[in-house]
Structure 1
């Protein structure tokens, strides 16, 4: 099973590494900026091996803690509303919400909770954690890239990351048969947090 994420963190990612600007002296808590639409949880999956179907989850929330001097202590939680799936096609989105795929009435939340953050020498990192989808919780790894951090024009302080991962639908109990080319979901998370 291929598992990867980048946080330039959904869910959830996400968190982490290589600072731009002045780093805070100690770990800080951030809320993911969904109100300002400065974060997104996106996905793509092959359509029968002929093209890429892309989409996003419009409703999610989360928070993370991060210290550029001690990135290994970083933590993140992302909560995703599966019913907010948006592939820009109303009939398909209704099918994705059904029991064939996300079964949103039975499983109204997807969630990522980090367990470890491993920085690398090239300025990237690996974020480990537990991802819950469709009522199944499994460990997953996210490839992370830190985009930057610093003061914003409104007197606040922000940090941003990008994350990517992939997983098999069957690993989360989703077995609707679209053929072997459509078994893997690629998830991308763009996360900008506002320091609290």
Structure 2
């Protein structure tokens, strides 16, 4: 993953979850010449990583035009070509299939989601943190071609079991393939009392576990 990335105002900064997913992509030894979808691309860090890892074509999707502008600029700096698509990933790629799907969607539980914009849109994901995770997991079997692989990163606070159940319900083979524990960042620290009151974190908890879930379509 490139150490230098341009990031426009309000665009999600690559951090621990991005790096964990990039390592999982490398360890998965994804096929050379793959058609790849990067859902919620942000700066394009994972899309660029996929292109540099041998993907034949990479489609990067984000609702934020500032994110897509950042991804375009970073792809030019990296010397790779991306197909950039603006919109809701659950709608704009319907009817298409990919060999590989990678996703770092918003997953932080929140009392609401900003209507239309703002930096918090990159992480706020509704009451259970699954506003995008649920539809993404549900549609994943239709996004993957036969033999295709999805890699999704999110916090354990958002419910690992919920992701596994939805993916498996669609006929995919799904399991956790990478984990790491990190200290709460500013967002989680700022709402820790609310998360604790809802029973999503333990009293005194100041760390969260991040996981990468791999889902394979075998038939």
The verdict on a shared fold, with TM-score over 0.5 as the criterion, is: no
Considering fraction of residues, name the structure with more strand.
1
Considering fraction of residues, name the structure with more helix.
2
TM-score computed with the length of structure 2 as normaliser: 0.28
TM-score computed with the length of structure 1 as normaliser: 0.30
